[in-house]
Chains A and B, each alone.
Chain A
Amino acid sequence: MKWNEVPVTLKEISLVVGSEYILDNLSLDFNPSSVTVLMGGSGCGKSTVLKAAAGLTPLSSGNVFYGDQSVYGLNQKDYARMQQNTGFMFQDGALWANKSIYDNLSLPIIISDNSVKPEQVEKQVMEALSTFNMEFAANLRPAALSAGEKKIISFLRAIITDPDILFLDEPTSFIDRRSSLTLMKNLFRFKDEGRTVIMVTHDLKLARTLGDYVVFMHDRKVELKGTVEDCSRSENTLWRTFIEDSQSDAAELKG
């Protein structure tokens, strides 16, 4: 089964830390072979939902399904195989600080294919770096890179094994325009190939250009969900306020 052919379903998930509910009984579907954009104000729970959908956050209750396969009910081996078919780009990069950039990119390849030859790994890693003109970084440690460069490496690490499902947490933040365009080109390729992409972003332009569906969250709940066209026509007050705030901020900055 290819994971991009089945929906990603969050069923009544809750996450409690101490006595605080980070997520409370939230249910949500992500359509297969499409790009869904998670939007909302800071602290509304978007990144937590993204991590839960990727099977990276231990939940207090509820479950996540890829098709009818329970993600949190998988045994260790199947869970690992599932993760090798998904890619996750972290908000802060989350690069392995004690490894070189080369090792950061080669480890997912080695893990997903035990028999891969070192020359093949090198070719794949250097090709990936060259798409962003970052071959110079191969032997550097993450600490030597800027925040934007770290995000690019995190993006490359997420896509280097050509996953069926791609989770992106604010992919274009900190990244310069040229790199942002390269990143979007890659995302268009994923979209054209029918992969499932779920991303958190505050970038309205990215959402409009790339997104098929929008999920708008407010106060850790799903406030609005629909196609980009439906949402653009929605009169939901919170959503309209969010859009207007985002647009006026951009206008203020330009003015």
Chain B
Amino acid sequence: MIESVGRWFREKLTGFSYAFNFFLFLLKETAHFPWNKRVGFKVLIMQIYFTGVEALSVIALISLGIGAVIIIQGIAILPMFGQGNLMYTILIMVITRELGPLLTAFIITARSGSAITTELGNMVISHEIEAYLSIGIHPVSYLGVPRLYGVILAMLFLNIYFNLFGLLGSYLVASFLHDIPFTDYLMNLVLALTPADIISTFLKSIIFGFIIAVVSIYYGFNVNRAVTEVPQNTIKSIGMSITLCIIADAILVVVTRL
């Protein structure tokens, strides 16, 4: 019993130490990347394209839907309490500060995070990672770091898209049901928007993008020998990314509201 607890503890400690060293190495290589971009640049562009561009339609649909629902519900309910103007604050609060970054993070986790873990895991199994080592390329620098930059940049862009579609596009949906002058709508939105909202949404995008990329890359490289490890690690990577994003979101909300 004591022996198995000891073994479990030792394995956890080794795993944590490996993850921590991996994280430090990834950070170091991330800092070096701008000066070492010759071969990794193409990987970066491909990652931005896959994560940022190909996810646009999903992001647009979700943000349009959520924005429209908030406007329609807000116009129907808030005036009953004499708080019609709060609709714009709620829109900013929900779309810009909270759901924008968080839903974008969930979509990126499901689409790109899982794809990164699967791709890297399969490359480990097919010895492609060893092949990179054999020609003098460190796979974390060449495959991991551009993906990290790509996911963070794509996360930032997608969050901006989410806000554009959620705040402006949804107006078009709502205008079919209610008569709202666009200039009034826009002016009220701008008045409700504070610098803190903008800083908060960008900060969250960067932090969530960082979390998703690091977790997905780590679990991808952490595949050892068996093909069956690839889906297992992908599931772990998705679960861990979502959990860490929610924890980070909670911490950021508390910090920015203090």
Contact = CB atoms under 8 A, between A and B. Distances in A.
A39 to B, nearest CB: 22
A108 B135 contact: yes
Interface centre among B126, B127, B132, B134, by most chain A C-beta atoms within 10 angstroms, is: B134
A86 interface: yes
Contact of B39 (A86, A97, A110): A110
A88 B130 CA distance: 10
B138 A76 contact: yes
B251 interface: no
Given A92-B126, A94-B126, A111 B135 contact: yes
A107 B225 CA distance: 26
Contact of B138 (A54, A80, A97): A80
B128 interface: yes
A84 B128 contact: no
Given A111-B39, A114-B38, A94 B127 contact: yes
Contacts of B127: 90, 92, 94
Interface string B125-145: 011101111111110000000
A114 B137 CA distance: 13
B138 A95 contact: no
B131 A94 contact: yes
Nearest to B133: A56
Interface in B132-160: 132-138
Interface in A90-116: 90, 92, 94-97, 107-108, 110-112, 114
Interface string A66-79: 00000000001001
Contacts of A107: 39, 135, 137
Nearest to B129: A94
B39 A83 contact: no
Contacts of B132: 96
Contacts of A96: 128, 131-132
Interface string B40-71: 00000000000000000000000000000000
B225 A17 contact: yes
A83 B133 CA distance: 7
Chief secondary structure at chain B's binding surface: loop
Contacts of B134: 54, 56, 83, 86-88, 90, 158
B102 to A, nearest CB: 31
Contacts, number: 63
A11 interface: no
A22 to B, nearest CB: 11
B128 to A, nearest CB: 5
Contacts of A55: 133
B30 to A, nearest CB: 14
Interface in A198-226: none
Contacts of A240: none
Nearest to B224: A17
A185 interface: no
A95 B134 CA distance: 12
Nearest to B138: A76
B249 to A, nearest CB: 33
Contacts of B137: 80, 107, 111
A189 interface: no
A51 interface: yes
A2 interface: no
Contacts of A157: 131, 135
Contacts of B126: 92, 94, 97
A73 B134 CA distance: 16
A114 B225 CA distance: 33
B157 to A, nearest CB: 23
B131 A90 contact: yes
30 contacts: A51-B130, A55-B133, A56-B133, A79-B136, A80-B138, A81-B136, A82-B136, A83-B133, A83-B136, A84-B135, A84-B136, A86-B134, A88-B131, A90-B130, A90-B131, A90-B134, A94-B128, A94-B130, A95-B131, A96-B131, A97-B123, A97-B126, A108-B135, A108-B136, A111-B39, A111-B136, A111-B137, A112-B136, A157-B135, A158-B134
Interface of A: 17, 51, 54-56, 76, 79-84, 86-88, 90, 92, 94-97, 107-108, 110-112, 114, 157-158, 161
The 9 closest A-B pairs by CB, nearest first: A94-B127, A83-B136, A80-B136, A88-B134, A84-B136, A108-B135, A94-B131, A56-B130, A96-B128
Given A56-B133, A83-B136, 10 more contacts: A55-B133, A79-B136, A80-B138, A88-B130, A92-B127, A94-B127, A94-B130, A94-B131, A97-B123, A110-B39
